[in-house]
Amino acid sequence: MLEINAAGLHYRALNERIREAAAKGEKEIRVKGVNGQYYIGAGLRGGAVITLEGTPGNDLAAFMDGPTIIIKANGQDNICNTMNAGKVVIDGNAGDVLGYGMRGGRLHVRGDVGYRVGIHMKGVKKQSPTIVVGGTAGDFFGEYMAGGVMILLGLNSKDGAPLAGDYLGTGMHGGAIYVRGEVDKKYCGAEVGITGLDDEDNAALKEALTEYCKDMNLPLDEIMKKPFKKLYPASLRPYGNLYAY
Amino acid sequence: MNHDYHKDISGCGLTGLISKKKRRVSGREIVKSLCLMTDRGNGLGAGYAAYGIYPEFKDCYALHVMYDDPEVRWSVEDHLKANYKVEKIEEIPTSPVKAIPISPLLMRYFVSPLKDKLAGETAADDFVVNTVMKVNSEIGGAYIFSSGKNMGAFKGVGNPSDIAEFFRIDEYEGWTWTAHTRFPTNTPGWWGGAHPFTLLDWSIVHNGEISSYGINKRYLEMYGYKLTLLTDTEAAAYMLDLLIRRHGLDISTACQALASPFWKAIDGMNEGERDALTALRQTYGSALLNGPFSILFGHGGGLVGINDRIKLRPLVAASKDDVVYMASEESAIRTICPSPDKVWAPRAAEPVIVEFE
């Protein structure tokens, strides 16, 4: 295990040290004294597990391709921007625009997330990103979603309280959003359909939540007891006729 | 085509704090908080506003004036002496900073309007606003960039740390602080265009852009405000003065005018609330700030943070004992308050209103 002290380091210096360690084949990296450094783990490849102590800055794990980053605090904005593979686990809350254009890998958040989470998320065949949020989400959850899976659990929410904000799934044209509880159509984008889960959905949900619950040390069975709703794109090409006049 | 150029990817950054017990906090704290966000701003503007810094002149208006040309000073001072009791004239203390080779002449005046000038309906605050508008629009090269009581703005072109060193921010102690690092988008990076923007006790720092600037400007002009600082944020500062001081709206109502609920939300409200908000939107349609923003505004009675209606700019809040913090990034708060009692992300258009105990 390698330990790096990030206190006072600019992100460029910090990332250089992380990349250097990963290139040498270091499997476990612990970074202490993180506060506000942007782009940690950006573009990083390989399979290292990086644990951060402190509050990392924006664009954590942008373009990341393989490693696992564990954050023992809250995350800020733009985490997993265009991430390709790997995993980010956040023990606290996280900010806005998480998983922007994310194309693979996992983002696990224990607490609440902000606005525009999963915007433009995409997936093709086996390449499918997953975002699991333990708490609640702000407006525009899954906006313009094109692929992958988003799961919203609302673990500390009161029964009946909305788990997501307004404009849920607006512009969605691929992928699936699973919400643990009821979803009010009036808060959803026009392109979204709401349904119960079939066997295939349940299998996908269980698979995603098994890993999430392991990371967060949560009881899977209990979480699965409450019924979920699935949000899906009502049309694959909602604007296919927009210019076909 | 060159694919290897380094694009300057940035944005504005802001931070603020307030002691609800009016405990005065060193400027060092807010400087440290702002300077954490080095990936925001590009050195074309930074500034600080502080409240409670002039206890020895707390009943005077503290006018901070920048002069592009030192000669202009005399016409402003003639005007001030003819209309105000001038308690003190001094240069704003500065330190030489290598990165700031040129600066305007920066003066401050502690003044009170002459009693015989306040005849009739004109209150002292209005009189001062008129002076600010007159100087800024009629005396070329002179700008009053701070005009409140027991508060002041310090701003210019430079990085947050350089501007702080230049204005010796660490020598001030205030119970409310706001600070800003600028990444100018649509308007020039000049001394007058740095944040905070102030009028009387109102001070604003802003991340975003106010696309409704033209509408807001024309509306304010009808009430005698003159927008001379070439930057959208100026409109927000004067709008607060208009809505809260002159029209008597309370702060949360003023916030609902600046960042109104959408009509679909208003339609879903109960009758009384729906009527009130419909009336507010109809009356103050021209006060609506459209476009992305997060704003902190300080005033004599507290500090307010507010976002646009769909949260297109970041804002995080935290509290610890008697202090409430608000900033673009949580890390900017944690660098001066490592273990807050509470950290939260304010919802879109939901103001965080902090008042003194």
> Where residue B309 sits, what CATH number does that domain have?
3.60.20.10
Residue B337 bears catalytic tag: no
How confident is the model over B225-234, as pLDDT tens digits?
999 998 999 9
Asked, for residue A26, whether it belongs to a domain, the answer is: no
The residue written with tokens 């607060």 in the block is: B240
From chain B, the residues in CB contact with A57 under 8 A are: 39, 329, 331
A116-120, A219-223, B120-124: range with lowest mean pLDDT: B120-124
Q: What is the CATH number of the domain that holds A146?
A: 2.160.20.60
Q: What residues in A contact B332, CB-CB < 8 Å?
A: 36
Q: Work out the average pLDDT over B239-263.
A: 96
pLDDT digits (tens, 9 = 90+) for A40-71: 999 999 999 999 999 999 999 999 999 999 99
A139 reaches B (C-beta below 8 A): yes
Residue B8 pLDDT more than 80?
Answer: no
- Using only C-alpha atoms, what is the Rg of chain A? 18
Residues with Cβ within 8 Å of A181's Cβ and at least 6 positions away in sequence, in order, are A154, A157, A159, A160, A163, A226, A227, A228, A229
Contact A79, A71 (CB under 8 A): no
What stretches of chain B show up as alpha helix (H) in DSSP? 27-36, 72-83, 124-138, 160-166, 213-222, 233-240, 251-258, 263-267, 271-283, 330-334
Q: How many CB atoms lie within 10 A of CB B35?
A: 21
A65 touches B: beta carbon within 8 Å = no
Domain of residue B128 covers 15-355
- B111 in any annotated domain: yes
Say whether pLDDT at B64 is over 80: yes
In this complex, do A96 and B331 lie within 8 Å of one another by their Cβ atoms? no
CA distance A160 to A169: 19
Range of the domain at A150: 74-243
**Residue A160 within a domain:** yes
Cα dist. B3→A64, A81, B6 in Å? Answer: 21, 21, 9
Provide the whole-model pTM: 0.95
Average pLDDT over residues A78-86: 97
Strand partners for B339: none
| pLDDT at residue A124, rounded to an integer | 84
Is there a domain that residue B2 lies in? Answer: no
Contact B356, B298 (CB under 8 A): no
Q: How many domains does chain B have?
A: 1
| Total domain count, chain A | 1
Hey, is the C-beta of B220 within 8 angstroms of any chain A C-beta? no
Q: How many Cβ contacts (< 8 angstroms) between chains A and B?
A: 57
Instruction: Report ipTM (2 d.p.).
Output: 0.95
Nearest to B331 among A76, A93, A165 (CB): A76
pLDDT 10s digits, A123-144:
988 899 999 999 999 999 999 9
B330 lies within 8 A of chain A by CB: yes
Q: How far is A243 from chain B (nearest CA, A)?
A: 28
A178 touches chain B (CB under 8 A): no
**Cβ-Cβ contacts under 8 Å, A93 against chain B:** 343, 345
